[in-house]
Amino acid sequence: MEIMEKALPPIPVKRYFTIGEVGELCGVKPHVLRYWEQEFTQLRPMKRRGNRRYYQHHEVLMIRRIRDLLYDQGFTISGARNKLQELVQGERDRRKSGEVPLEGMEAIEIDQEEFDAAVQDSPEPAAPRTVDLSQLLHLRRELFEIRELLTVGH
């Protein structure tokens, strides 16, 4: 009988996830998540009423990364802890140094005149929007985390 690896579902756009939701999103049982909290200091869900855990998006990504290290790449808990620390430190170093280059991606050259013409030719200009800088920084961080998750072990 052939066992097919089930792909993890996409992470919904919401602020907090219960331990049951995280278990389903990450393919891990809740008791394993509670154990991992003790083993991985980076994993700190918020606790509310009755000690209920509420995980944020970045923690769901972290759990998927831990799961990949342990289940797919065969790391021990100790090895995964060290690897995760390396990844987190590498991400911090890249953030400190400024822009994080996309590995394997070539820079896209844009002709300014061609761009201006395309914008002028568009049927309706987009309505001006104000964007909160903290939202952009949060989105940027999440995109970097997703990229790290996708590049771990590849």
Please say whether the beta carbons of 83 and 39 come within 8 A: no
How confident is the model over 62-71, as pLDDT tens digits?
Answer: 999 999 999 9
Backbone φ and ψ for 45, nearest 5 degrees, come out as -70, 155
CATH top-level class for 8-96?
mainly alpha
pLDDT tens string 1-60: 344 456 889 999 898 999 999 999 999 999 999 999 999 988 999 999 888 999 999 999
The model carries a pTM of 0.59
- Give 51-110 pLDDT, tens digit per residue: 899 999 999 999 999 999 999 999 999 999 999 888 878 878 877 777 555 544 433 444
| Sequence spans of domains, the chain | 8-96
